[in-house]
Chains A and B, each alone.
Chain A
Amino acid sequence: MAAVNRKKVSVTRILVIILIVIITFVYMVPLLFVIDTSFKPWTMIKEWPPRIFFKPSIAPYIRIFTARTVYPPGTTLTQEQIDNMTWYQKIVYQESNEEIVRRGDFPLRYLNSLIITVVSTAITILMATFAAYAFSRFKIRGKNDILFFILSTRMLPAVVVLIPIFLMFRKLGLGDNHIGMIILYTAFNLSFAVWVLKGFIDEIPIEYEEAAMVDGYTRFQTFWKIIVPQAMTGIAATAVFCFIFSWNEFGFAFIMTKSRAQTIPPWLPYQMGVLGYDWGAAAAGAVLFIIPALVFTIILRKNLVRGITFGAIRK
């Protein structure tokens, strides 16, 4: 009887595992389709039924990096002209009959995303580590109220504060400006970072600091030499979360930036090429854009629950 029971259990077990694998695969289909499209040759993108297997082409990635014009109909290039082309010019010419005229906007937008995200994350972490330490270790009058105030700023619908910020930044010359965006994203992430970091610092036994202070360390030295190294994992995890939030942010960037400081999220979905919306290039851009966030997610996986609940749940 027992043996039969065990067999039954292991059969259900295997069935459940198979089910999980199937679900995961189905779940990945939209993502896989985008990756698939980002390697599709020009002529196959608009085919019906959609083709899944084909000889992959790098052309969509060249197209997202460049601005091009179509050769006028009937133009035939001489063999010499074709021979003089660089490899990427040749690929684009052969696939979509286009001439590369200059570098596209994508690299600059990507760079904007990178600069704004990295700088704001660094400043957020610096400020938040200081604040979190103070909130964790000192008796501060009205501490819980201040902490709740800090949290509540994150829960606001962004648009309520966005209107005055827009007016204010316009006056200060911070509209469509890297510094303006860095200030915004720092403030946007600060509440989150303070809460999560406070949780991490709370977990460090206070005895370490007391011992160090007995040894003659000043308060700041204990903070810098004891707490910061101890909290490094937490600080790194929080930084990665701030990076992901800023990297993905759309609402602020959409309203505040038009060109000079524009990041990828408000730019990529609204790009019309000369031949209509270029889905291959868009898919390539999307893939390049989500790679950092995906890599960081994989690094973060142990701390995800903690991050998404603002440190409320520590697994």
Chain B
Amino acid sequence: MLRGRKENTSTELQYRALSDQALIRAFVLPTIVLLVFVNIFPLFWSLILSFSNFTAKFPLVWGKNPKFLGIEQYIRLLADPAIWGRFITTAKYVILSVGGEMILGFGLALLLQIKFKGREVITTLLVLPMTMSPVIVGLMWKLFYDPNWGMFNYLLGLGKIDWATDIKYNLYAAVIADVWMWTPFVMLLALAGLGAIPQYLYEAAEVDRASWWHKFTKITLPMVWPLLLVALIFRTMEAFKVFDIAMGISGRGATAPQLLSIYLYDTAFVNWKTGVGSALGYIVLIMIIAITNIFIKYLNKAKQ
């Protein structure tokens, strides 16, 4: 449509097309400049840092701080069994929390397909946890978990389990809070997917006297699957780098769950190993890209 206008040769419109170019620049450039300044430039900077032993604690002395180590730092990190231990803990966290969210979220969405008075109120109430601050959700759950005056153990009759600071349980404490917070996310996407299924498919199945299970596996699931995958991708990416819920519940250091993301923060900003932190950050980044790419491949297949 716009191209059509530009082909018009009247002088007034040519002037307008020219000012369009200026307008585009004025409209788009501020955004691009800010993103380059705050995202892209730092991204390359930390890539360079990741090959060095730089520490932000001491002043810059070329050749000493930073001293360039090349690929050595990555090799050292990837050979460190402690890192792999944290990676496994993180993987456990991601699988348990995202798995729980997918099952519960989809289940809730299936139940909420029934239309009734007050359905919207219920949906809104269920969605509330999602829009709270994760660290405050962590704090709330810390209170809820407290073995001496919290409700959690009391309601479930669990005795005096110290969910927040006992390293046997604190990972699961974070998983439960994460599931509580993010199940509504999956539920909302699943509801959007379920709402988009054309009714005539069910009516046709009804004519064929298809069983409930048959309708579910042959109509509902395939139709919602792409949206469930979108939810899965979003949640996996987020869960992989999450640390605020866990930090709200367990704080940091020895009492915190041994997640990669918390370790990353400690390395970069507590122990001030800036170079090592950057390298770890890149390892996490590459892992996230790899995992999401696998999911996106499935998504594209599912969409066909």
A-side interface residues toward B, CB under 8 Å? 13, 16-17, 19-21, 23-24, 27-31, 33-34, 37, 45-50, 127-128, 130-131, 133-135, 137-140, 146, 149-150, 153, 155-168, 170, 183-184, 186-188, 190-191, 194, 206, 210, 213, 218-220, 244, 247-251, 255, 264-266, 268-270, 279, 282-283, 286, 289-290, 293-294, 296-298, 301, 304-305, 308-309, 312-313, 315
Say what secondary structure dominates the interface of chain A.
Answer: helix
B-side interface residues toward A, CB under 8 Å? 1-3, 16, 19-20, 23-24, 26-28, 30-32, 34-35, 37-43, 45-46, 49, 56, 108, 111-112, 114, 116, 120, 122-136, 138-144, 146, 148-151, 154-155, 180, 185, 188-189, 191-192, 195, 227, 230, 234, 237, 240-241, 243-244, 247-248, 251, 261, 264-265, 268-269, 274, 277-278, 281-282, 284-285, 288
Structural contact, A297 and B131, CB atoms closer than 8 A: yes
A297 — which chain B residues lie within 8 A by C-beta?
124, 127-128, 130-131
The listed residue with most A CB atoms (<10 A of its CB), out of B24, B136, B155, B247, is B136
B227 — which chain A residues lie within 8 A by C-beta?
313
CB < 8 Å: which of B26, B38, B132 contacts A161? B38
Structural contact, A269 and B128, CB atoms closer than 8 A: no
Besides A33-B140, A183-B38, 16 more A-B contacts (Cβ < 8 Å) are: A20-B114, A27-B180, A47-B149, A127-B31, A133-B27, A140-B24, A160-B46, A164-B49, A187-B39, A213-B16, A266-B135, A269-B139, A290-B133, A293-B132, A305-B189, A308-B189
Return the chain B residue nearest A170 by Cβ: B56
Structural contact, B43 and A161, CB atoms closer than 8 A: yes
**Bound CA–CA A150/B33 (angstroms):** 11
A13 — which chain B residues lie within 8 A by C-beta?
114, 116
**Bound CA–CA A229/B212 (angstroms):** 48
Return the chain A residue nearest B180 by Cβ: A30
Structural contact, B23 and A134, CB atoms closer than 8 A: yes
A194-B31 contact, Cβ under 8 Å, with A290-B132, A293-B133? yes
Structural contact, A16 and B34, CB atoms closer than 8 A: no
* Chain A min CB distance to B182 (Å): 10
**Bound CA–CA A218/B23 (angstroms):** 11
27 contacts between A and B (CB under 8 A): A16-B114, A20-B111, A27-B125, A45-B149, A48-B149, A130-B26, A135-B28, A138-B2, A140-B24, A150-B35, A157-B281, A157-B288, A162-B268, A163-B42, A163-B268, A168-B45, A184-B38, A186-B34, A187-B38, A188-B38, A244-B131, A250-B134, A265-B244, A269-B135, A294-B132, A305-B192, A312-B230
Return the chain B residue nearest A213 by Cβ: B16
Return the chain A residue nearest B131 by Cβ: A297
Structural contact, A265 and B285, CB atoms closer than 8 A: no
A46 — which chain B residues lie within 8 A by C-beta?
148-149
B180 — which chain A residues lie within 8 A by C-beta?
27, 30
Return the chain A residue nearest B121 by Cβ: A24
A296-B131 contact, Cβ under 8 Å, with A27-B126, A165-B42, A313-B192? yes
Structural contact, B1 and A159, CB atoms closer than 8 A: no
The number of residue pairs between A and B whose CB atoms lie closer than 8 Å in the complex comes to 262
CB < 8 Å: which of A138, A153, A161, A168 contacts B24? A138
Structural contact, A157 and B285, CB atoms closer than 8 A: yes
A153-B143 contact, Cβ under 8 Å, with A161-B46, A164-B41, A164-B49? no
**Bound CA–CA A157/B236 (angstroms):** 12
**Bound CA–CA A286/B144 (angstroms):** 13
Report, nearest first, the 7 A-B pairs whose CB atoms are least far apart: A248-B133, A164-B42, A187-B38, A164-B45, A160-B281, A130-B27, A134-B27
